[in-house]
Chain A
Amino acid sequence: MDVLILASESCDPATEIICAPENVIELFEFTEPLFSIGPFDFTRTVVLTFLAMFIVLALLFMGFRKTRVVPTKFGVAMESVVSFVRDDVAKGTIGPDGSKYSPYLLSIFMFILVANLFELTPGINFPLTSRMAIPLMLAVVTWLIFVIVGFAKNGLHYVLDIAWPKSVPLALRWLVGLIELVSVFVLRPITLAVRLFANLVAGHLMLTLLLGSGWIFFAAVGDIGVRSVIGLPWFAFGLLIFVFEFVVAVLQAYIFTLLSAVYIQTSVHPEH
């Protein structure tokens, strides 16, 4: 509702065709602390971050609190998620060694999934991953893991093989090596973070503008009369985007997890 209020503050349904805030950053920044513990301010985003953590912990705890030979439906769903990340993503991408990375991959998948789905959760309607802190933090952790694993498994050959790729013709080797160095050590974490962040920013922006505008036009029917019908296509389109955003939320969590596994795999088996 805060978002709708922000969007409607400067909106005049009598003259405008869509309601957008003066500054779209207002849709993503919640700088006012709800409360503080010492020097640490708990803004809405910070509170939602911990809420996401508790939801992930609760889901996993409920799914695995008892060892059941015949699982419940919820247990089956949670086991499917775990086996999907461990068997399909971790082992399927990295190989037999992949199972040791499955705790990390499962953690990022669950955390990103819940943080993304906050976009569609009534009462919250704000994806945590549309704040750069979460995607960047996770991308940096992934970067640290694949770099450390690369050096641990291959020593200095890890960076030398990237900088001087022997499979490339000699004339182009330095250029390709330079591109690879920048790609692996600089662009990978940035693209990983920005891909997730930008998708959720765009989705949140679209949902807010479309559903917010639709709602504001409907609410102003007493003032603007028949003109409030303009809200109808905005609202209908917003509902379609709502369904689309559910797919995006799940897909982006999967893509982030899969790419993390792929990057780790390139460090575990650089010859591939």
Chain B
Amino acid sequence: MIQFLAPILVLAEEAVVEESSGIDLLLPESSELIAGIIAFSIIFFFVWKWVIPAADKTLAARQEAITGQLTQAETTKQEAASLLDDYKKQLAQAKSEANTIVENAREAGDALRTDMVGKAEADAESIRVKARSDAAAERDRAATQIKDEVAALSLELAQKVVAGTVDESAQQALVDRYIDDVGNLEA
């Protein structure tokens, strides 16, 4: 341990020995002072005139670049948002148009169906009316015909009764013929 302390003791002794001449260490050498002043002046001038402006320029350029990029990013973002809005509007418009088209088509279909049903009903009614009319006309015509036939038969019967030519079999034949005529009319 004493060996490790020895250098400290040696240094202490040195310090005592050198105390008288140690002041030389504290006094600046004139040549070193002049060199120091020149060297430091050059450094200061260089820093003052070139380094600080260059650093400012670099930082300003970087700030400008970053600001530009941020602005560009913001513009792009706004453009993207605007495009998205446009697309959304277009999509909504397309949906609306599609709905309108479907609605119109439905309305047109309904109208067409209503129209066709109405027309069909009208046709049917017309056909029904005509059929009823035809049937009535036919019935009238048949009735008229029967009336004429009955009148003719009655007349023929009356003539034969008056002439006395009607026997039982001829009378029966007339009656049968009359029934057949009526039967044919009804068919």
Binding site for B on A (CB under 8 A): 17-18, 20, 23-25, 28-29, 40-41, 43, 45-46, 49-50, 52-53, 56-57, 60, 64-65, 67-69, 71, 79, 82-83, 86, 102-104, 106-108, 110-111, 131-134, 136-138, 141, 197, 201, 205, 209, 213, 230, 233-234
Contact of B37 with A137 in the complex, beta carbons under 8 Å: yes
Contact of B55 with A79 in the complex, beta carbons under 8 Å: yes
B14 within 8 A of A: yes
**Known pairs A131-B28, A133-B32; A20 contacts B14 (CB<8 A):** yes
Binds A, one of B38-46, B85-93, B148-156: B38-46
27 A-B pairs (CB sep. < 8 Å): A25-B18, A25-B22, A29-B24, A50-B35, A50-B39, A52-B39, A57-B43, A60-B47, A64-B54, A67-B54, A69-B61, A69-B65, A107-B40, A107-B47, A108-B40, A110-B43, A111-B40, A131-B28, A132-B28, A133-B29, A133-B32, A133-B35, A137-B33, A137-B40, A141-B40, A213-B7, A234-B7
- Kindly report which residue of chain B lies nearest to residue A49, judged by CB atoms: B35
The answer, among B6, B31, B65, for a CB contact under 8 Å with A17, is B6
- Kindly report which residue of chain B lies nearest to residue A33, judged by CB atoms: B31
Give bound CA distance, A103 to B45, whole Å: 8
A-B contact count (CB 8 A): 135
The answer, among B3, B25, B32, B48, for a CB contact under 8 Å with A45, is B32
Given A86-B52, A106-B47, 7 additional A-B pairs, CB 8 A: A25-B21, A29-B25, A50-B39, A68-B58, A86-B55, A103-B51, A133-B36
Query: By CB atoms of chain B within 10 A, which of A106, A110, A233 has the most?
Result: A106
- Kindly report which residue of chain A lies nearest to residue B28, judged by CB atoms: A133
The answer, among B18, B22, B35, B65, for a CB contact under 8 Å with A46, is B35
Measured as residues with beta carbon below 8 angstroms from the partner, the interface class of chain B is 35 or more
Give bound CA distance, A205 to B28, whole Å: 19
Residues of B with C-beta under 8 A to A67:
54, 57-58, 61
Contact of A209 with B11 in the complex, beta carbons under 8 Å: yes
**Is chain B's interface secondary structure helix, strand, loop, or mixed overall?**
helix
Residues of B with C-beta under 8 A to A86:
52, 55
- Kindly report which residue of chain A lies nearest to residue B2, judged by CB atoms: A17
B62 within 8 A of A: yes
* Shortest Cβ distance from residue A113 to the other chain B in the assembled complex, whole angstroms: 12
Binding site for A on B (CB under 8 A): 3-4, 6-7, 10-11, 14, 18, 21-22, 24-29, 31-40, 42-44, 46-48, 50-52, 54-55, 57-59, 61-62, 65
- Kindly report which residue of chain A lies nearest to residue B53, judged by CB atoms: A64
* Shortest Cβ distance from residue A137 to the other chain B in the assembled complex, whole angstroms: 5
Give bound CA distance, A28 to B62, whole Å: 46
**Is chain A's interface secondary structure helix, strand, loop, or mixed overall?**
helix
- Kindly report which residue of chain A lies nearest to residue B21, judged by CB atoms: A25
Contact of A64 with B40 in the complex, beta carbons under 8 Å: no
Give bound CA distance, A138 to B59, whole Å: 29
Residues of A with C-beta under 8 A to B21:
23, 25
Give bound CA distance, A106 to B7, whole Å: 39
Contact of B39 with A20 in the complex, beta carbons under 8 Å: no
Give bound CA distance, A209 to B163, whole Å: 188
Contact of A46 with B31 in the complex, beta carbons under 8 Å: yes
Contact of B43 with A53 in the complex, beta carbons under 8 Å: yes
Contact of B14 with A60 in the complex, beta carbons under 8 Å: no
Give bound CA distance, A24 to B3, whole Å: 21
* Shortest Cβ distance from residue B43 to the other chain A in the assembled complex, whole angstroms: 5
Residues of A with C-beta under 8 A to B27:
132
Residues of B with C-beta under 8 A to A205:
11
Residues of A with C-beta under 8 A to B65:
69
Residues of A with C-beta under 8 A to B10:
17-18, 20
Residues of B with C-beta under 8 A to A18:
6-7, 10
Contact of B58 with A138 in the complex, beta carbons under 8 Å: no
* Shortest Cβ distance from residue A135 to the other chain B in the assembled complex, whole angstroms: 9
